[in-house]
Structure 1
């Protein structure tokens, strides 16, 4: 096996005799000492930590042996090596503080700009609520860059229309529509079972669908609609697709939340199914939306904590304020307010940018449990860092939301 130590160089990064430089699947560089049979993250001479970034060079392919050993194939020169070709260009790893990473995009960036030059061929993606608005632009942008995208929608007519619109732009676009009604746990289960029957991998799961400002109404499962559609249905869907994500790893889950998650008093002292899914007398549409979006951020943190060891990374994001999507359709007053704000808010392409960034940006591969706004990591509400609150929501969602319905 080739090692960096074999190079004739005066560089301070030269590997001492008996050491070997290796790379994890997440891109972190580590060092193996063949004399002591031990490994460490720090360079044996400089003490620095490094990681590789970017995609493999043109013509290269990473493969996995049956025993789990990774090797690399150079199809142009017809060579095989166990050394990642990007190792020579490894950069210093400054740790988990992504605020130190150079920000490439901002509030004015579009999903197309985020994906410029990217080839997503071979990536399988699910986007919920993808027949219109931000979800459509998310799905469209990724499909135009080669991904196989499943539009998971309740209204199949609109979903098929969306597929046609995408394929008119790119005839070979791999886009399919499948029915998913998040207000029905039975529908969620049927969607997951159909997806599994197709025997497709799943590299990116984008939980985008949401309702806003709807009057109080219970779903067929007995939960308040905003709570189930925005959060519980997505929680259940992810649970059912968990094995597919792990089998397809590395994989990413993106939970679309909102800055409104900050305006909720949910805490360990009051968390209950009655609080999350209130009766009509205790229901306020705006508060229910805020609460569901807080649940989204807590869920993203909890999911990353559970699945990151399997190389499934989860982040949440805010797409933009008062964007003119179909969220406002429940009440004419919302339509009026959103219409007045329209000239000052993001376009749908701009709204999809942060979601697409979380799903595809190479610089955050291997990182999760974070919250993004305007394609940049920012701090969510302080309570979302409370592990006990994350766990309480998770346990409550399983006990009262999913397991009590006999689904898993």
Structure 2
């Protein structure tokens, strides 16, 4: 009897190993072993969503899921050709998918204004704004408006976009804003050198911009809540996406070699979708692995959040109280 139990255990273990190996060959990675299982049958018929950076990775998977639930989803992307290809892929995978492509360059405030104007002219409502796009650890460069690219795109671009679309979100309430942020725990806001003009390091600039996303969420939440708009900050985890393209060759080699340790994009989208769909979710919080999570001490600093808000408004030339 003992031998039979042992043999059965060995067979079950062997089956498990075969299953894991199969998943690895399919590119799933092993993070599914640690990723919280989550699903929802909530429908989004009649709802409209905007996803920035939606042509690839987490953004594309987010669009696909929202479209499967019946939402009209706008892919807000800088590269229209890649966005059209992504929309075509989604339309082939999702029957009757209602997805459209719109030009949005978060490195250019004029493009952001043009995008927002087009949205107001073509859309009657907006229920989800998912600020997903980002640039990571690139060589030093500036946006069309002279901001350091990572701070300008990841923070100021989405800050300005949200400001411009807030009236439509308010009109469509209840609605939600989701800011995607990774690696903020290492970040610090360098008010004396926000544009990295004195000293530039790609990682330092990146984590500063991601901390700014959390502080933006923290400061926006109480303002938006009275309008019926909830705001969330989301950590997707370490995900295999095109964002690694600016890493140096040794780090790219590490990521490619140990890619099986990294989440695939569909799993990276879980927490974004969790915050988009879960009813009665507390606003203003930081979420990771489909649950509320602790953030860094710097991200909990109300004075820094308030100061960054004021500085961001000044840099963009807007009044947002």
Q: Under TM normalisation by the shorter chain, which class is it?
A: 0.7 to 0.9
Higher relative contact order (CA 8 A, sep 6+): 2
1:155 and 1:107, CA in 2 relative to 1: closer, same or farther beyond 3 A? farther
Question: Of the candidates 242, 246, 252, which is equivalent to residue 335 of structure 1?
Answer: 252
Q: Does residue 380 of structure 1 match 2:295?
A: yes
Aligned runs of 1:218-297 on 2, under 5 Å?
A: 218-258=142-182, 260-266=183-189, 271-272=191-192, 275-279=193-197, 281-297=198-214
Question: Of the candidates 134, 152, 172, which is equivalent to residue 210 of structure 1?
Answer: 134
Match of 1:108 in 2: 35
Match of 2:273 in 1: 356
Match of 1:47 in 2: none
Question: Of the candidates 99, 111, 121, which is equivalent to residue 197 of structure 1?
Answer: 121
List per-residue Cα deviations over 1:270-307 (Å, max 9, x = no partner).
Answer: 524xx22111x500000111000000000011111111
Residue 332 of structure 1 deviates from its aligned partner by 4.7
Question: What CA distance in whole angstroms lies between the structure 2 residues aligned with 1:221 and 1:244?
Answer: 26
Residue 142 of structure 1 deviates from its aligned partner by 0.7
Match of 1:123 in 2: 47
The secondary structure found in structure 2 opposite 1:195 is helix
List per-residue Cα deviations over 1:238-270 (Å, max 9, x = no partner).
Answer: 000010010000001100001x2111233xxx5
Match of 1:39 in 2: none
1:348 and 1:109, CA in 2 relative to 1: closer, same or farther beyond 3 A? farther
CA contact (8 A) 1:253 1:314 kept: yes
CA contact (8 A) 1:324 1:339 kept: no
Question: What CA distance in whole angstroms lies between the structure 2 residues aligned with 1:221 and 1:134?
Answer: 27
The secondary structure found in structure 2 opposite 1:310 is coil
1:106 and 1:339, CA in 2 relative to 1: closer, same or farther beyond 3 A? closer
Residue 119 of structure 1 deviates from its aligned partner by 1.1
Match of 1:389 in 2: 304
Question: What CA distance in whole angstroms lies between the structure 2 residues aligned with 1:326 and 1:368?
Answer: 30
Question: What CA distance in whole angstroms lies between the structure 2 residues aligned with 1:181 and 1:227?
Answer: 14
CA contact (8 A) 1:319 1:355 kept: yes
Match of 1:306 in 2: 223
Question: What CA distance in whole angstroms lies between the structure 2 residues aligned with 1:384 and 1:208?
Answer: 19
The secondary structure found in structure 2 opposite 1:223 is coil
Question: What CA distance in whole angstroms lies between the structure 2 residues aligned with 1:385 and 1:303?
Answer: 13
Question: What CA distance in whole angstroms lies between the structure 1 residues aligned with 2:260 and 2:166?
Answer: 40
Instruction: Return the structure number with greater strand share.
Output: 1
CA contact (8 A) 1:218 1:225 kept: yes
- Runs (5+) with no aligned partner, structure 2: 1-31
Instruction: Return the structure number with greater helix share.
Output: 2
Residue 336 of structure 1 deviates from its aligned partner by 1.7
Question: What CA distance in whole angstroms lies between the structure 1 residues aligned with 2:278 and 2:87?
Answer: 25
Size of the aligned set, in residue pairs, is 288
Q: Does residue 347 of structure 1 match 2:267?
A: no
CA contact (8 A) 2:233 2:286 kept: yes
CA contact (8 A) 1:106 1:376 kept: no
**TM-score normalized with structure 1 length:** 0.68
CA contact (8 A) 2:77 2:83 kept: yes
The secondary structure found in structure 1 opposite 2:191 is coil
1:107 and 1:155, CA in 2 relative to 1: closer, same or farther beyond 3 A? farther
- Runs (5+) with no aligned partner, structure 1: 1-104
